[in-house]
Amino acid sequence: MAQPAGDLARPGPADILKLLAPYPGRAAMATRIALICALTAFVTSAYGTPEAAISAYVVFFLNRPDRVLSVILSSALLVLVTVMIGLVTVVAMFALDDPMWRVACITGLSFGLLFVTSASKLRPVGAILAMIVGFALDELGSVPFGEVATRALLYVWLMVAIPVGISIGVNLLIAPSPRKLAGRALAKRLRLAAQSLVEPEATADALSACLREGDAEIGTWLKLSVVDGSSVRDDVGPLRQAVSSTLTILVAADLAVREPSGRLPASFAAPVAETLENMARMLEAGGYPVDIELKLPSVTELTPLARLVVGDLQNAITRFAVVEAQADVEGEGKVETHTLTAARTQPQTNVEGAGKVETDALTQAQVEASTTPPPANKRGGFFLPDAFTNPEHVRYALKTTVAAMFCYLLYSQINWPGIHTCFITVYMVSLGTTAETVEKMTLRIAGCLVGALLGIAAIVFVTPVLTSVAGLMTLVLVGAWLSAWIAFGSPRMAYAGFQIALVFFMCVLQGAAPGYDLTLARDRTIGILIGNVVVYLVFTRVWPVTVAARIDAGLATLRQQWERLVALPDAVSRRAQAASAMAQCGALEQDIALMHYEPSWVRPEAQWIAERRSALAKLDALEGPMFLLAERRPGDAAIDGWLKRAMDGIPLPSAETGAKITPSPVAPNAALPEAAANDDIRTALLRLGDARLTQLEHAASDDAAKGLATHAPA
């Protein structure tokens, strides 16, 4: 089973080492980021543009694993910054000579941009824009006349334009394509499933974490692969089917790992693992396997759960990229299904027997329009549905603006401009909930100390021996690589990596040439710490927002997702819904873990947390049985009974629902092995779900009894 949610927020030394461990693509991503930062340092040094540290730091926000999203994000940010600079230019015409008007304009623009950040899809970059606008107006306040102000605005634009231009160029040259990343992700999952069949104890946690990732990112990569030409349209259908089949393989492997009675003998596990390994190599090579044959011994001597695992694995492997076309789900959910041979527009490969690989000839097969997956739910507009009704958006904008303006007035009134980084830090640290803000602040303080240590060490021991801009580029390259390794690893440590980069750049990039001023490094580090403390005090004392409401809403949505899954008669939609529900469960586990960061006056009572944690643990335990039962018997009433039992006693808000789908009688899929429809397998799944629920209920009762005994009066 998954790690208890309450323990997720307390990583020990061993956990930190795991979070720092390499994975495919991590070193390449860190190297790409470091190269862009080094080139940015070179350009800013060559042209003498101010705030080179900010230019290098912006690189961390511009890049994603694939080249398409990186280029799109860089271009979009440059357009937004250009618009913001134009807005600042207009505002500066009226507020440049009057300090009071300048402060009022910074406050008003900050509040407006932060409100839009919280209430719209601008969330990823809105705080950065607010910071740039405020910082630009602040810098304009120190210029003597208009011509210098115009030049200062140009430098602010160059501060972003330089890293944007370099990022686009480097990404177009060396960043991986979305198709390559999708193939790599699928290969990783297949290899993990293969390893779990052979070494079940060693892969339990990794398998659970893989299921928590969901399929959304891979689906995005497949869409983008058509945009950049790394995939032809005829390949998208088979690859989407491969994603669907991979989920079935992972769930079957997870059942074999969790349940001793579901584990496969070596005569079954070895050929399946070998075939999965060969399929993984094909996906990494840029193709996808078709016409797979998997010969296995007779399953008559196996337990029902083991037969279930074998049947699901064999069906998912042999039909790995065979597209199943669905008609749109409407009204009562009538669905017609037929199969199509996977299109082969690139050289593909066959798998026969226990993993024999042969190269298939090039063929062209036109996939009919009916192979298009069911349309997704309509997305909303730019603003969130509750943008103008939820007071939390206004409160977030107001709290962040107050914290930022306090820092601005602080260093302005005491005439200590060296700590202006406190103003920047406020925008970087502030998040919607108290727990997220405190977690981010904790990681940033740790990262700040590490970055300051590295930066000061570089100033003392490295900078004095630098004789050229090449040496400075090398220093930036090393620091950026170490920061990017952390920042683009686990989300649980990412913010520490961002902070290490910011402080390190602030220390070593002091101008057009290598800097030796330790006072500058000291002041900037103090400013970052002050900004973190101010944000903590504001967000924990003024309208603190707990994650409790989000957890209840998430649990309601999760239950709705499983109810909807049960009603879906076709396999592709059902698997996509299951992947989404598993990812939602992982997000809720992280939310419950975040409560560890909430102060006692914000955090809900221990009983409330225990009840939600217990419900989430039950839903986690039921994921496999519910999915496997729904695969065989869509609309089985036992699943609804499990859901009611898991959520018993927890009042939840009503989740927004789309059009309700009523399950229609669906015959067992003819492609499934005959054993899959046997009653003994259904009985085994029902017993498995009931046993897991009973075990968790007994554990919850024992914990409650211990709690009463602990708090009983003496």
Asked whether the predicted pLDDT for residue 302 surpasses 80, the reply is: yes
CA distance 638 to 226: 41
Asked whether the predicted pLDDT for residue 480 surpasses 90, the reply is: yes
How many CB atoms sit inside 10 A of residue 601's CB? Answer: 10
> SS3 for 628?
helix
**For residues 586 and 633, is the Cβ–Cβ distance under 8 A?**
no
Q: What is the pLDDT of residue 671?
A: 39
Q: What is the pLDDT of residue 371?
A: 34
Give me 376's structure tokens: 């997704």
Q: What is the pLDDT of residue 271?
A: 93
Least confident of 204-218, 304-318, 421-435, 532-546: 421-435
Residue 410 confidence class, pLDDT cut points 50, 70, 90: very high
> SS3 for 356?
strand
Q: What is the pLDDT of residues 555-590, one digit of tens each?
A: 999 999 998 888 887 888 899 999 999 999 999 998
Q: What is the pLDDT of residue 293?
A: 85
- Residue tagged 């961002």 (tokens): 498
Asked whether the predicted pLDDT for residue 483 surpasses 70, the reply is: yes
CA distance 234 to 1: 39
CA distance 180 to 218: 11
Reading phi first (left if > 0) and then psi (alpha if -120 to 50, else beta), residue 63 is in beta
**For residues 551 and 593, is the Cβ–Cβ distance under 8 A?**
no
> SS3 for 359?
strand
Burial label, 226 (beta-carbon count in 10 A; 0-12, 13-18, 19+): middle
| CB burial string 387-420: b at 16+ within 10 A, e below | beeeeebbbbbbbbbbbbbbbbebbbeeeeebbb
Residue 330 confidence class, pLDDT cut points 50, 70, 90: very low
The stretch 529-555 carries a mean pLDDT of: 88
CA distance 366 to 233: 10
Residue 178 confidence class, pLDDT cut points 50, 70, 90: very high
Q: What is the pLDDT of residue 322?
A: 86
Q: What is the pLDDT of residues 7-23, one digit of tens each?
A: 444 556 666 777 788 88
Q: What is the pLDDT of residue 444?
A: 80
Q: What is the pLDDT of residue 176?
A: 94
Q: What is the pLDDT of residue 246?
A: 95
- Residue tagged 């961390």 (tokens): 60
Asked whether the predicted pLDDT for residue 145 surpasses 80, the reply is: no
CA trace torsion 560, 563, 564, 568 (10° rounding): 170
Q: What is the pLDDT of residue 143?
A: 64
Phi/psi of residue 43, nearest 5 degrees: -65, -45
Beta strands in 169-314 (DSSP E): 289-290
CA distance 259 to 602: 40
The stretch 143-170 carries a mean pLDDT of: 83
Asked whether the predicted pLDDT for residue 592 surpasses 70, the reply is: yes
CA nearest to 528, candidates 427, 425, 616, 428 = 425
Least confident of 206-210, 230-234, 518-522, 703-707: 703-707
Q: What is the pLDDT of residue 663?
A: 45
Q: What is the pLDDT of residue 10?
A: 52
Q: What is the pLDDT of residue 375?
A: 40
Q: What is the pLDDT of residue 665?
A: 43
Asked whether the predicted pLDDT for residue 357 surpasses 50, the reply is: no
Q: Which residues pair with 359 in a beta bridge?
A: 349
215-224, 377-386, 457-466, range with greatest mean pLDDT: 215-224
CA distance 153 to 143: 11
Greatest Cα pair distance, the chain, in angstroms, is: 89
Q: Which residues pair with 289 in a beta bridge?
A: 349
Q: What is the pLDDT of residues 644-666, one digit of tens each?
A: 888 887 776 655 444 444 444 44
Q: What is the pLDDT of residues 182-193, one digit of tens each?
A: 999 999 999 999
**Higher pLDDT residue, 299 or 349?**
299
Q: What is the pLDDT of residue 380?
A: 54
Least confident of 89-98, 588-597, 644-653: 89-98
Asked whether the predicted pLDDT for residue 173 surpasses 90, the reply is: yes
Q: What is the pLDDT of residue 502?
A: 86
Least confident of 12-16, 68-72, 427-431, 628-632: 12-16
Residue 489 confidence class, pLDDT cut points 50, 70, 90: confident
CA nearest to 696, candidates 587, 615, 599 = 615
Q: What is the pLDDT of residue 667?
A: 41
Q: What is the pLDDT of residue 364?
A: 34
**Higher pLDDT residue, 183 or 697?**
183
Q: What is the pLDDT of residue 514?
A: 65
Mind giving me the DSSP string for 19-54? Answer: HTS--TTHHHHHHHHHHHHHHHHHHHHHHT-S-HHH
Q: What is the pLDDT of residue 331?
A: 38
Burial label, 71 (beta-carbon count in 10 A; 0-12, 13-18, 19+): buried
Q: What is the mean pLDDT of the chain?
A: 81
Residue 134: C-alpha distances to residues 111, 140, 536, 538 (Å): 11, 10, 21, 19
Q: What is the pLDDT of residue 437?
A: 79
Residue 340 confidence class, pLDDT cut points 50, 70, 90: very low
Residue 703 confidence class, pLDDT cut points 50, 70, 90: low
Mind giving me the DSSP string for 524-567? Answer: HHHHHHHHHHHHHHHHHHSS---SHHHHHHHHHHHHHHHHHHHH
- Residues of the chain with pLDDT > 90, as a percent, come to 32
Residue 688 confidence class, pLDDT cut points 50, 70, 90: very high
Q: What is the pLDDT of residue 707?
A: 55
The stretch 490-518 carries a mean pLDDT of: 82
